[in-house]
Each structure stands twice: as structure tokens, then as C-alpha cells.
Amino acid sequence: MDYIRLLQEHKLKVTPQRLEIVSILNKYGHVNIDSIYEKLKIKFPSLSLATIYKNINIMKDKLFLSELKIPNEKSVYELTKEQHSHIVCTQCKVIIDINLDLNQLENQIIKLSSFSLNESSIVFKGLCPKCKNKNN
Amino acid sequence: MDYIRLLQEHKLKVTPQRLEIVSILNKYGHVNIDSIYEKLKIKFPSLSLATIYKNINIMKDKLFLSELKIPNEKSVYELTKEQHSHIVCTQCKVIIDINLDLNQLENQIIKLSSFSLNESSIVFKGLCPKCKNKNN
DNA sequence: CTAAATGCAAAGCATTTGCAAATAT
DNA sequence: ATATTTGCAAATGCTTTGCATTTAG
């Protein structure tokens, strides 16, 4: 993935801190602020939390970063991809992306509510295969 | 709706403040902290925000209050009902409940992810019928 | 009468802001 | 050379806590 181009396309200056934030997001997929900070602190000991917040916000504004709100948990961030849904393991907290066919669901909604739809946020919770087995 | 019984069933003392919080939740359906506070302040001028927070938290713990996290907006609270989904109007911010048949969706998820499922949080965004018309 | 709830003020966190110094273009 | 970004410290804002007083059961 070309992080430099990603930043440039959004008219952001390419700083080492920014490159590393994007790289962490890309590598880990779903991360919260604290864990971005921890990981970055290793490479940039002088790094400020304020810098992370500023960058997260600017990237959100430019829409190439999305915040995922999860019931009863902290928000995590991910690089914006095509629309997809999430499943969270209630035990080990792993979050995975899933591509669902939402046509049938959207038809139901439009029929029942007469809304016109654009975004959706679909988060399921349950047990991942590993944790399912551990529990037996 | 019998607010007194609702509180008693959860072993909470029936105070005037609590009755009014529950009544507001029931009346308005989806409300955020500030708007609960504003509405209550009229009836109880001495009311403290801390009391609202304490009550929201205790009701959440007892699971008869649910927090609804909405992408890019403040959380709202609702009395816990049977599982249902939500649609939010991006223009007027109205939130409506909707009962969807999730069977087909859940089958997809189980097939694709091998998770076992329990909760789900499904929030769609779009334009409500009124705002759709206004925009023409 | 006792345990729980309220209201106030203070404390605690998370996030944002202002500004001088450093850096990218 | 200029505008943006960083990092620090201070400020803000939301939520929680501690405690004395009040209230419900």
C-alpha cells in the first residue's frame, strides 16, 4: 500500500508520524487511540497524544479514516474501505470485517420505513471460532 | 406503562427523579444525556447532572436501559425492548425503530465467519420521508 | 430505622486548543 | 519562503466520585 500517495491525494504533508499512523492502521486493521499511541511511542519517543488526535481528526474529515463505534466498548479506527460490516468477539475482542449482501435487508427497511438509505453500520457480537472451542 | 413497577422489579427505589427519567425515556424514545437533563430541570430545578449519570449507569447495569451508539453522533438512550434496529435521518436527526428479519443475514455471517452470534447493532442512515420531500 | 438516592463540589479522564519551534514542499 | 505540522502545556468538556443531607421503604 502506498501510504505516501494516500496522504498526498488528500493534500496532507507527508510526515514520518503520519506515515507511521497510516501504516499502523493498515497493519492492524482496527485500533483505538491508545494503542496507536503506544505503538508509535516506540518509534517516536517525543510523540504527543495531541498529534495523534489532530491526525485522526483530519483523516476523519477527509474521509479516509472511519471510526467504528461498538456497543459497550471503545471506538476503533480503520482506513476507509468499501462498505462492510463487522463482527466482534465478546471474549478476545478480535474484530473482523465481513462483506454481507444487504440487498434483502435494505429492501425490508425501505418497505417498512419509507426512508431513502445511504450509510449503514452493522456490528454483530458473538464468539470467534477460537473462543468457541476454548469454552468447551 | 408502569414505571413504578419497572423500577421496583429492578430493586431500585422509586424517587420522583427516577420516575421522570424513565417517563422521558419512554415518551421520547431516544434521548441523549443533555436532553434528559434539560427536560428534567424544568420539573426539578435543583436536579444535578450527577444524578442523571448515576441513574443512567445503574439502569444500564440492570440492563433495562440501552445505549445506542450512532456513527458521528452522540449516543442516545432507550428503554430496553425486544431486539430491533434503527434508522437515523441524517437531516432532521429523527431516529426510528425498525423490526427486521435478520435470519438471512445471520446465516450469511455464520457461514462466512464461523462465529456464533448473540447481539447485533444495526444502524442505517438516510433521509426520512419528510426530509426527502423537503429536498425537492 | 436503615439503606439508598440526591445534590453539590471536587476529581478524573479524554479530547481540544494555542502557540512557539520544527519541518515539508 | 510559506504554510503546515509537531509537541508541549493549558484549557475544555464530559463523566465519575466522595460526602453530607435527604428520602424511600
Mean pLDDT of B70-88: 95
Name every residue whose Cβ is closer than 8 Å to that of residue B100 and which is 6 or more positions away in sequence: A105, A108, A109, A112, B84, B85, B122
Name every residue whose Cβ is closer than 8 Å to that of residue B26 and which is 6 or more positions away in sequence: B1, B3, B79
- Nucleotide of closest approach to A33 (CA, C1'): C14
- Nucleotide of closest approach to A48 (CA, C1'): D7
Separation CA A42–CA A40 (nearest Å): 5
- Do β-strands B95-98 and B85-89 pair in parallel, antiparallel, or remain unpaired? antiparallel
What pLDDT is attached to residue B23? 97
Q: What letter represents residue A43's amino acid? A: K
What pLDDT is attached to residue A53? 98
Question: CA–C1' distance A65–D4 (Å)?
Answer: 20
What pLDDT is attached to residue B16? 98
Return the beta strands (E) in chain A as ranges: 65-68, 76-79, 85-89, 95-98, 116-127
Beta-carbon neighbour count of residue A27 at 10 Å? 10
Of A89, A101, A109, the CB nearest to B87: A109
Of B99, B104, B132, the CB nearest to A104: B104
Separation CA B69–CA B71 (nearest Å): 7
Q: Indicate the angle between helix axes A103-113 and B103-113, nearest 10 degrees.
A: 160
- Decide if A26 touches B, using CB distance below 8 A: no
Q: What is the pTM of this model?
A: 0.93
**A15-28 per-position pLDDT tens digit:** 999 999 999 999 99
Mean pLDDT of chain A: 96
Q: Is the pLDDT of residue B11 over 90?
A: yes
What pLDDT is attached to residue B85? 98
Q: Is the pLDDT of residue A74 over 80?
A: yes
Q: Is the CB of B50 under 7 A from strand D?
A: yes
- Decide if B33 touches A, using CB distance below 8 A: no
Q: Is the pLDDT of residue A136 over 80?
A: no
Question: CA–C1' distance B63–D18 (Å)?
Answer: 26
Q: Is the pLDDT of residue B97 over 90?
A: yes
Separation CA B120–CA B83 (nearest Å): 8
Q: Is the pLDDT of residue B131 over 90?
A: yes
What pLDDT is attached to residue A1? 81
Question: Which residues on B lie below 8 Å from A112 (Cβ)?
Answer: 98-100
**B38-69 per-position pLDDT tens digit:** 999 999 999 999 999 999 999 999 999 999 99
- Decide if B99 touches A, using CB distance below 8 A: yes
DSSP state of B30: S
- Do β-strands B65-68 and A116-127 pair in parallel, antiparallel, or remain unpaired? unpaired
Mean pLDDT of B103-132: 96
**A83-118 per-position pLDDT tens digit:** 999 999 999 999 999 999 999 999 999 999 999 999
Q: Cβ(A67)–Cβ(B71) under 8 Å?
A: yes
- Decide if A96 touches B, using CB distance below 8 A: yes
Separation CA A135–CA B22 (nearest Å): 38
